[in-house]
């Protein structure tokens, strides 16, 4: 069990003042990844890499690519309970003004403790190079986000709690919220079942709880961005390295998300939540 990017991939709007709080964490994460590159690889260390093509990059129930395809990939190392690495994806400037890429850094530590139980805790940083709300005519505000997370697993099931150490993907006063969104949390339960030698069924449910709401309601009265998301994925292992997956994902709170305006053009709106079907071709090495 590794605390990496979730199998079921918010693109809502960390202010400049919070970037100073984020920097130490990112330095820690970057240092962990850097150590992997500069120190000799232990004999018991496992290196891994992955690359994927997805028809739509959906994270926590919401599209990050405005419904368009994305290229993704990453690499990491596991040694004696320690995991560290990086992961990246293309994103859409309509949700990340001035940017087009996401780069994640992560580090975690975990152990098995018998009878199928295991635990893991870690840090996760989301970076969006070049993206800032000032590209949309709003006060300067980065969308970079840092989270702490902890997970408990038992056989097929994993329960994970994620909590933002910064504003949550930029949600703050500059983006029209009543206040800061630090402390926003995401609770998720995932399950994976082998259906045979080449088939896997993955189930997911998650809930995002914001610590703030919009200062002014949307046209239909919605102010609270908190929502739940659900997903089901069927995976087919094609060979030793490649797999093909089909996912059906649904996000609630349609009143808030069904008419999300692009940061680049307020008249360009999209239901970034709702129900979405996704196809993924992934290679692992």
269 within a domain of the structure (yes/no): yes
Question: At residue 276, does pLDDT exceed 80?
Answer: yes
pLDDT level of residue 220 (50, 70, 90 thresholds): confident
7 within a domain of the structure (yes/no): no
Strand partners, 166: none
CATH code of the domain containing 126: 2.40.230.20
User: What total of structural domains would you count in the chain?
Assistant: 1
Q: Report, as an integer, the average pLDDT of 94-121.
A: 97
Identify the pLDDT of residue 268.
95
Q: Provide the CA 56 distance to its chain's centre, in angstroms.
A: 14
48 within a domain of the structure (yes/no): yes
Identify the pLDDT of residue 219.
87
203 within a domain of the structure (yes/no): yes
Question: At residue 7, does pLDDT exceed 80?
Answer: no
198 within a domain of the structure (yes/no): yes
5 within a domain of the structure (yes/no): no
The DSSP result for 186-210, as a single string, is EEEEEEEEE-SSSEEEEEEEEEEE-
144: which residues sit within 8 A by CB, 6+ positions away?
14, 19, 22, 26, 125, 126, 127, 128, 166
213 within a domain of the structure (yes/no): yes
Say what the pTM is: 0.88
pLDDT tens digit sequence for 139-187: 999 999 999 999 999 999 999 999 999 999 999 999 999 999 999 999 9
2 within a domain of the structure (yes/no): no
The range of the structural domain enclosing residue 114 comes to 16-284
Looking up tokens 């045979």 gives 196
């Amino acid at each position: 069990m590794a605390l990496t990017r979730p199998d079921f991939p918010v693109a809502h709007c960390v202010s400049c003042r919070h970037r100073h709080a984020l920097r130490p964490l990112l330095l820690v994460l970057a240092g962990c990844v850097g150590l992997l590159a500069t120190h000799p690889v232990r004999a018991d260390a496992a290196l891994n890499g992955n690359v994927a093509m997805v028809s739509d990059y959906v994270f926590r129930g919401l599209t990050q690519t405005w419904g368009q395809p994305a290229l993704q990939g990453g690499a990491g190392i596991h040694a004696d309970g320690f995991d560290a690495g990086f992961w990246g994806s293309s994103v859409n400037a309509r949700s990340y003004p001035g940017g087009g890429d996401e780069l994640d850094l992560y580090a975690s530590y975990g152990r098995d403790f018998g009878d199928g139980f295991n635990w893991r805790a870690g840090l996760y940083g989301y970076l969006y190079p070049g993206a800032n709300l000032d590209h949309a005519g709003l006060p300067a505000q980065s969308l970079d986000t840092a989270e702490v997370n902890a997970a408990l697993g038992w056989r097929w099931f994993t329960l994970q709690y994620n909590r933002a150490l910064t504003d949550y993907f930029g949600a703050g006063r500059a983006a029209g919220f009543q206040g800061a969104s630090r402390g926003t949390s995401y609770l998720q339960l995932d399950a994976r079942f082998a259906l045979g030698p080449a088939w896997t069924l993955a189930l997911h449910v998650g809930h995002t709880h914001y610590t703030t709401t919009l200062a002014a309601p949307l046209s239909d009265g919605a102010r609270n961005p908190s929502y739940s998301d659900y997903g089901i994925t069927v995976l087919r292992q094609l060979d030793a390295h490649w797999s093909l997956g089909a996912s059906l994902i649904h996000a609630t709170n349609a009143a808030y998300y069904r008419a999300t305006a692009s940061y680049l053009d307020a008249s360009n709106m999209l239901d970034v939540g709702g129900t979405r079907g996704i196809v993924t071709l992934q290679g692992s090495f």
